[in-house]
Amino acid sequence: MFKSLRPLLSFDLITVQPEVEITLANDDQPKESLDEIFEYLKKHDDQFIVAIDEFQQILVYPEQNVEALFRSYSQQLSNVHFIFSGSQRHVMEGMFRSPARPFYRSTELMFLDKIPVEEYVKFAIEKFTLAEKKISEELIVQLYKKVLVHTWYVLYMLNRLYSLPVSYYSTKELDEVVKQVLMENEPFYKGYTKLVTSRQ
């Protein structure tokens, strides 16, 4: 079974905790690879949680009936609990609320709203304080609004600020980091402008 797995070790940018991601190495035969993985899980008495992020992506797989295949796996394994998450809410709702789809009423739906700014304030102040750095609540709120409450960008910008060789942060440092990130990504942003009409 392990010949079909490709482990990837990385570190979380914020917590610096190690993370292991396992993907299928046998891209030519995805069904056989999935069979091997789920057969392995079935043979064990342990309880497993399988979390699949951006689950709606299975709809673009070239193979036929991938939804039905995943549904059959999830029904066969009593010791495995699944978490299907996705950022495209309307697509995920269609997959789990449409009577014509394999996953219809097979799961409990949970919608996650934006993380409140108070949580970011508490988190950031705690982490910065541990490193003997000082960041104000006002600056975190300013950052939160600047990136339009997008979780990835809030954490990314906090990480960029944290990595600066200073012990106190002000609007000056935030503006410098924003400018630096924009300059680093300028080629990508210019590319985006070519994908839309001049009116857009």
- Written as tens digits, the pLDDT of the chain (200 aa) is 455 566 666 766 666 666 766 665 555 555 667 778 888 888 888 888 888 889 888 888 877 788 888 888 888 888 888 898 988 888 888 888 899 998 888 888 888 888 999 999 999 999 999 999 999 999 999 999 999 988 889 999 999 999 999 999 999 999 999 999 999 989 888 888 888 887 87
Helices (H), 43-185: 66-76, 89-97, 117-130, 137-146, 151-162, 171-184
Q: Which two tokens stand for residue 81?
A: 């609990």
Q: Note the pTM of the prediction, 2 decimals.
A: 0.59
Q: CA-CA distance, 4 to 10, in Å (whole number)?
A: 20
Asked whether the beta carbons of 79 and 41 are under 8 A apart, the reply is yes
**Closest CA relative to residue 114, chosen from 80, 166, 151, 76:** 151
